[in-house]
Amino acid sequence: CGPTTSGGIYEGQSSANKACEVQKRTFGSAATHIQRNPAYSELNSDDVSYFKSVLGENGVVQDEDRVMSCKCRLDGRLAVVPQGGNTGLVGGSVPVYDEVIVGLAGMDKIISFDNVNGILTSEAGCVLENLSKLVENEGFIMPLDLGAKGSCHIGGNISTNAGGLRFIRYGSLHGSVLGLEVVLADGTILDMLTTLRKDNTGYDLKHLFIGSEGSLGVVTKISVLTPAKLPSTNVAFLSCNDYKSCQKLLLAARRSLGEILSAFEFMDHHCIDLAMRHVEGVHNPLPASPYKFYVLIETTGSDESYDKTKLEAFLLRSMEDGLVADGVIAQDISQATNFWQIREGISEASVKVGAVYKYDLSIPVEKLYDIVEEMRCRLGDSAEVLGYGHLGDGNLHLNIVSSKYDDNTLGRIEPFVYEWTSAQRGSISAEHGLGLMKAEKIHYSKSPEAVQLMASIKKLLDPNSILNPYKVLPQSVL
């Protein structure tokens, strides 16, 4: 990546087979169909010496316990995997064979914070939570928040175009990111690190790198617009008897809460049961009951008493209209934290069951829960099907959990889930990206012409395809 990348290079000693085994366990069948591309060089001691001369002894990690990679030979086409906090959910940040990991963790410096305009400029390896604390001290907030905030990097967030819990209010990173510095495959440092709000001079190239999952360049510096931190936040935890009521509640919330609505998250009761079993320290704030669905609503505004009155009136009306069966508004920080921990804990609770088949779908809200019910019919008692997600954004997380992975269950889930989503003109990856696991599925959401154009862009920027191989695009188009 050239001398300006003070991140890290990781190289291990284990065999390609071992790497592939780990991939298979972690990412199901995706890795098993891909052959190593023999055009790539293998790393040798000259490469390692070169990396050490650029990054120093500590910048190159060769500890087998910390990395998985393999033995190598040099001829100028080393494949690399950019890696941020390694929290991605589609296998994008880990090598498939012997690719060298370019770790960004060492690039964690704040460059500047403009506390008049709320513009943060930093290196790409800064952890999201650390940035949140920093800007909050200055009276601003990060435009995104997600359960992995304690580990994920802002560079990883941008490279995956992460959505998360504030999307309904602050929108996509395509709107909040003002500028980027990116290192291209040939070592060119592409300086697009502007902090301007408006700049219509030519093509806006930064957008190519937002969401391209390290396949077009390594993001090294970022500038982001941060919204003002507002003084009043309220969180409500509600239950609904059926999915239709959740849907109507969303529309009602948009109309009645308007500008103060800052989150609208939903979970079915399977998720709540799972969270109660596996998330430490949380409790269901609502009395045990046969409620089928739960909704977390957050409002953020500038007037504590006005905002609270507005939320209370909305809840009362929703109960009178029969949309809400029961509900509670957090009276203090610890109650609000409990509500959020339930919602944010579902992801990790799913993993604790044993095996989780994860799908991250964009579907029109009126159809969004149908796939969960259809999947339950298909799978019967063989697995538990959970539906939750960012309802306000039309984004369903469909998690299917069981004690272990088996091909029979997978065969009943796929390709059905993709075909069903495609038939609704939905997206088979709303916010997690394609990575390794879903690269071959892109055609369910994108036309052949669009995929071909993406491949042309990839070939233009990375003619030897050394950046994050086997990820994002199908092998057949490259």
> What are the residues binding ligand MLT (CB under 6 A)?
89, 147, 346-347, 397
Residues 109-128 that bind ligand FAD (CB under 6 A): 124
148, 240, 257, 361: which one binds ligand FAD (CB under 6 A): 148
C-alpha–C-alpha distance, residues 105 and 153, integer Å: 8
Q: Please state the closest distance from residue 426 (CB atom) to ligand FAD, in A.
A: 16
What are 273-279's contacts with CB under 8 Å, separation 24+? Answer: 274/346, 274/349, 274/350, 274/353, 274/384, 274/386, 274/401, 275/342, 275/345, 275/346, 275/349, 277/349, 278/345, 278/348, 278/349, 278/352, 278/353, 279/341, 279/342, 279/345, 279/346, 279/348, 279/349
Closest to ligand FAD by CB, 160 vs 338, is: 160
Closest to ligand MLT by CB, 270 vs 397, is: 397
5, 41, 87, 402: which one binds ligand FAD (CB under 6 A): 87
Closest to ligand MLT by CB, 42 vs 360, is: 360
28, 143, 394, 435: which one binds ligand FAD (CB under 6 A): 435
Burial grade of 424 (CB within 10 A; 0-12, 13-18, 19 or more): middle
Nearest to 350 by CA among 239, 428, 273, 437: 273
In the sheet that holds 119-123, the strands lie side by side as 110-114, 119-123, 218-225, 177-183, 189-192
Question: Which residue of this chain has its Cβ atom nearest to ligand MLT in the complex?
Answer: 347
Phi, psi of 291, rounded to the nearest 5 degrees: -60, 145
Q: Please state the closest distance from residue 219 (CB atom) to ligand FAD, in A.
A: 4
Tell me: does residue 143 bind ligand FAD (CB under 6 A): no
Closest to ligand MLT by CB, 346 vs 401, is: 346
Residues 67-86 that bind ligand FAD (CB under 6 A): 81-86
12, 59, 95, 214: which one binds ligand FAD (CB under 6 A): 214
Here's the x/- map for ligand FAD, 233-272, by CB under 6 A: it reads as ----------------------------------------
Q: Please state the closest distance from residue 376 (CB atom) to ligand MLT, in A.
A: 18
Binding-site partner at residue 397 among ligand MLT, ligand FAD, none, CB < 5 to 8 Å by type: ligand MLT
Q: Which helix (H) or strand (E) holds 287?
A: none
